[in-house]
């Protein structure tokens, strides 16, 4: 066989599998999405639409090369567990916990092998969803609303604003998990800064005003506010 003929034959043989694969139908991936709200919730309808739009921008189109299985449930724990189990049985390529802890927990109960991406979980380490923020481990990862280590920085900032502060009140809502975690982080650094902490667990305006006014009667005091929408630091 002449050298040119051999090269032509070799090139054709190498190219044939590629051509054959190109003619095969594109593999359809499957994504399971669990949402802890009603299907007509406008806020989450907008979020799902944004999710689909972002997938499309990355080349994944629902109904073409990916199939989205969405389960809408209320906050009822039994409904969430049932829908989570249904999605896990489908053996999707990935599961999306679209409503924080309410959806991440039942999905992790349903499967420890299918990859899970969670959204807006307040404390994934404390909840046991991941081993650590740096190395999640297991089959879950995602996005958290808070990095509690920053909460200790608020007390450091307060000391920079008012170096003479020796007492600090931490205004928090005990019904909000983030406030509890933030207070714990502040409490961990308080001894090293020589600051005594006093939690104020108040829920309405008049009660908060009375508690802060009483605390402010003493000198060298400061206030850290830890609402769910972000911290505010005030020197008194």
State residue 24's pLDDT score.
Answer: 56
Report d(CA 196, CA 191) in Å as an integer.
7
Assign 178 a pLDDT band (cuts: 50, 70, 90). Answer: confident
149-235 folds as: Rossmann fold (3.40.50)
Say which residue, 121 or 17, is predicted with more confidence: 121
Query: How large is the average pLDDT for residues 141-160?
Result: 87
State residue 227's pLDDT score.
Answer: 58
Residues 181-218 have pLDDT tens digits of: 788 889 999 999 999 999 888 667 788 888 888 888 88
Residues 44-70 have pLDDT tens digits of: 999 999 999 999 999 999 999 999 999
State residue 14's pLDDT score.
Answer: 41
- The CATH-assigned architecture of domain 29-144 is 3-Layer(aba) Sandwich (3.40)
- Its pTM stands at 0.65
Assign 96 a pLDDT band (cuts: 50, 70, 90). Answer: very high
Query: How large is the average pLDDT for residues 92-102?
Result: 95
Assign 226 a pLDDT band (cuts: 50, 70, 90). Answer: confident
State residue 228's pLDDT score.
Answer: 46
Stretch(es) of the chain classified as CATH 3.40.50.2300: 29-144, 149-235
């Amino acid at each position: 066989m002449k050298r040119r003929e051999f090269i032509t034959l070799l090139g054709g043989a190498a190219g044939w599998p590629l051509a054959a694969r190109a003619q095969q139908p594109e593999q359809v991936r499957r994504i399971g999405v669990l949402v802890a709200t009603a299907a007509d919730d406008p806020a989450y309808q907008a979020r799902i639409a944004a999710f689909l739009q972002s997938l499309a921008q990355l080349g994944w189109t629902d109904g073409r090369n990916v199939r989205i299985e969405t389960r809408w449930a209320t906050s009822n724990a039994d409904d969430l567990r049932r829908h989570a189990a249904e999605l896990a049985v489908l053996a999707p390529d990935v599961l999306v916990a679209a409503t924080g802890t309410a959806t991440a927990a039942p999905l992790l109960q349903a499967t420890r092998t299918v990859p899970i991406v969670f959204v807006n979980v307040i404390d994934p380490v404390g909840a046991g969803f991941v081993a650590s923020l740096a190395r999640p481990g297991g089959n879950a990862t995602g996005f958290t609303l808070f990095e509690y280590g920053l909460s200790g920085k608020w007390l450091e900032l307060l000391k920079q604003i008012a170096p003479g502060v020796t007492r600090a009140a931490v205004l928090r809502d005990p019904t909000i998990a983030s406030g509890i975690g933030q207070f714990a982080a502040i409490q961990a650094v308080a001894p090293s800064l020589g600051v005594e902490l006093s939690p104020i667990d108040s829920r309405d305006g008049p009660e908060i005003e009375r508690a802060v006014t009483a605390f402010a009667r003493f000198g060298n005091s400061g206030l850290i506010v830890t609402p769910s929408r972000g911290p505010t630091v005030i020197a008194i």
